[in-house]
Structure 1
């Protein structure tokens, strides 16, 4: 329980900084990050309170709950440190994609590299409950699957989703192929249900684009919870 409380405090602290960074990065492709808040006040740096006229409490709560869930299911194993370190950039990616339907390379590529390197270190620590080899293969497999989907339907899936899939595949692959498939399927199911809901509510057409990154991340989070419990 103490571990979960510490993780929640960590998640709440870092989640407090997500809105500022997300606001700065939520710009069209090719545009520089925002340097002023909605009211025109200059924004300096990436860490700090949310910009004015922007709510930040919900992100602190969400990341606190997510971090506590990881701690409860993973327990005091070395991979928990990896999941907690990957949580803030994943939350930031979800926030940016939800706003502008874009997954910036400045986040997706380091996320994939960090997942591989950190899990490599976790594999050398005492009592890991996963496989670094399977993690690397999982990144290749999920990234490759998304790349094929991108080639088949580039209008329905962005290349940013492909790069995000590599990092998520590394994390899910740590627990084996069953968790990899579960996390990937959960992301597709959640995204499909959301799109169908929009169509039924007549808020979007069949060809309307939706931000898929948040659903990929949510599905992977579910997979990590199940992997931690199974381990």
Structure 2
């Protein structure tokens, strides 16, 4: 079902149910990964904020993709992004335990979408974009290890896969907006005296924000 044919009430209901189910779980996972403690629990505030972010991620996926297999890829990447962003803010790490399964889930959903709807060109574009984003980021990480970690490299590959499926314009916009978001955040912290010019700041959240903004600008994904 195309996004335009999906009632707003259905989007809200599906996103809310998904948030109520996945929000608390995502909050626990992010806390346990950040603390490296499988018994850690999330505070009520963290759980509430995480649930709201998950609801927004699921609603955004439905509004962008409608009811189709590719929407699962957007939703999975969105929920994984909520967890990765929380962990990166807390510990400057982007755990493979979240990123690697997200690669598998996103790729599988996009493959099913291609089989079901014939969106093979979009799948090929996604693979090429993901490989290009990963390769360029890996080269940058080798040249400047202090500027870009390999957790960021793997995240960029994942975002390249998702944004590339939407279009090359979405990929370029996502990377550009991610860099701009990171620069603005850094300058804001430096101006406020919360960081210095040499302070290492997490790069994952700005990349995720850039990807979200690019998807918003791109609008609904066509069925073919």
Query: In the aligned structure 1, how far is the partner of 2:54 from the partner of 2:120?
Result: 24
Match of 1:131 in 2: 122
Match of 1:35 in 2: 38
Q: TM-score, normalised by structure 2?
A: 0.86
How far 1:54 sits from its partner (Å)?
Answer: 6.0
Match of 1:76 in 2: 67
Residue of structure 2 aligned with 1:2, choices 3, 9, 32: 9
Whether contact under 8 Å (2:72, 2:106) holds in the other structure is no
How far 1:168 sits from its partner (Å)?
Answer: 0.9
Query: In the aligned structure 1, how far is the partner of 2:39 from the partner of 2:98?
Result: 21
Task: Answer yes or no: is 1:89 the counterpart of 2:80.
Answer: yes
Residue of structure 2 aligned with 1:147, choices 125, 138, 141: 138
1:175-190 pair list within 5 angstroms = 175-190=166-181
How far 1:126 sits from its partner (Å)?
Answer: 2.7
How far 1:133 sits from its partner (Å)?
Answer: 0.2
Which is worse superposed, 2-11 or 213-222? 2-11
Residue of structure 1 aligned with 2:54, choices 56, 63, 67: 63
How far 1:109 sits from its partner (Å)?
Answer: 1.9
Query: In the aligned structure 1, how far is the partner of 2:219 from the partner of 2:120?
Result: 8
- Decide which structure has greater helix share: 2
Whether contact under 8 Å (2:76, 2:106) holds in the other structure is no
Match of 2:190 in 1: 199
Distance 1:196 1:129, change over 3 A: farther
Query: In the aligned structure 2, how far is the partner of 1:73 from the partner of 1:52?
Result: 31
How far 1:16 sits from its partner (Å)?
Answer: 1.9
Match of 1:47 in 2: none
How far 1:13 sits from its partner (Å)?
Answer: 2.3
Unaligned 5+ segments in structure 1 are: 28-32, 38-49
How many residues in Structure 1 have an aligned counterpart in Structure 2?
Answer: 214
Unaligned 5+ segments in structure 2 are: 1-7
Query: In the aligned structure 1, how far is the partner of 2:53 from the partner of 2:38?
Result: 26
Distance 1:67 1:52, change over 3 A: closer
How far 1:128 sits from its partner (Å)?
Answer: 4.8
Whether contact under 8 Å (2:127, 2:164) holds in the other structure is yes
